[in-house]
Amino acid sequence: MKPSRHPYLDHATPIAFAHRGGAADGVENTAAAFRRAAAAGYRYFETDVHTTADGRLVAFHDPTLDRVTDATGRISALPWSEVRRARVGGTEPLPLFEELLEEFPEARWNVDVKAEPALEPLLELIRRTGAWDRICVGSFSEARVARAHRLAGPRLATSYGVRGVLGLRLRSYGIPAALRSGAVCAQVPERQGGIPVVDARFVRTAHALGLQVHVWTVNEPGRMAALLDLGVDGIMTDHIETLRTVLSERGAWA
């Protein structure tokens, strides 16, 4: 039996996701990046979360501040009072995820839970704010997203982790494989280690199971067009103007 469509996916496809708000401009996962994406017409944002040493949920990709900010250190080892002083690209502060939910009340968020300690604070935030229809929880760890679904139940949209994607890929070749129930989408790279992940067979199999296929991170217009021709349901990009142009030219910019 196919799962019913989760309210998170109640949007015309293909869905355009601003990956980290549109990471191409160098201020990824900041309020400034998400404001720019919202002004460009994006309504689906992708972000990542970590927790500070004192349990604050920060929208940030890396476990450390070193790569994209003017500060250093592991976020999990630092209190929010220190993390909040870091500046992405030397200019933009790191936002708390709760602040982003409040600032962009119409946006829907794909949230990659980067570490286990961030999971329960995220679920508690969703409960407290009633944001069940606005968030899809993902992770490379199938165990982590399975735990999220187990703790929150069907109100929470989740995607497959690596193990789930592998199971779906095997099924697309006619090989029996177990799949976790409750996922609403498969969020996948176009290729992994030079091996294709997304092809027509994969998309057909996912759709037959009632699952959407969202592909990351696609920045070249030719690849965007090829994936759209395959029938994927969403594309995540760093280059938000490029994806908007490609979709607009196809009459598919919602």
What's the domain count of the chain?
1
List of long-range contacts for 51-56, beta carbons under 8 Å, 24+ apart: 51/75, 51/76, 51/115, 51/117, 51/118, 51/121, 52/76, 52/78, 52/79, 52/80, 52/83, 53/77, 53/78, 53/79, 54/79, 54/80, 55/121, 56/80, 56/83, 56/96
80-127, pLDDT tens digit by residue?
Answer: 999 999 999 999 999 999 999 999 999 999 999 999 999 999 999 999
Examine residue 103 and state whether it is found in any structural domain, yes or no: yes
The CATH number covering residue 159 comes to 3.20.20.190
Among the listed residues 50, 61, 149, 239, the single catalytic one is 61
Across the range 173-193, mean pLDDT stands at 94
Examine residue 180 and state whether it is found in any structural domain, yes or no: yes
Examine residue 196 and state whether it is found in any structural domain, yes or no: yes
- Annotated catalytic, 207? no
Beta bridge partner(s), residue 96: 58
Examine residue 18 and state whether it is found in any structural domain, yes or no: yes
Containing structural domain, residue 240: 7-57+99-249
123-165, pLDDT tens digit by residue?
Answer: 999 999 999 999 999 999 999 999 999 999 999 999 999 999 9
Residue 1: predicted pLDDT: 38
Among the listed residues 19, 149, 214, 239, the single catalytic one is 19
Name the band, by pLDDT with cuts 50, 70 and 90, for residue 7: very high
- Annotated catalytic, 11? no
21's CB contacts (< 8 A; 6+ apart) are 27, 28, 29, 30, 32, 33, 34, 36, 37, 45, 47
196-253, pLDDT tens digit by residue?
Answer: 899 999 999 999 999 999 999 999 999 999 999 999 999 999 999 999 999 999 999 9
| pTM reported for the whole predicted model | 0.96
Residue 193: predicted pLDDT: 85
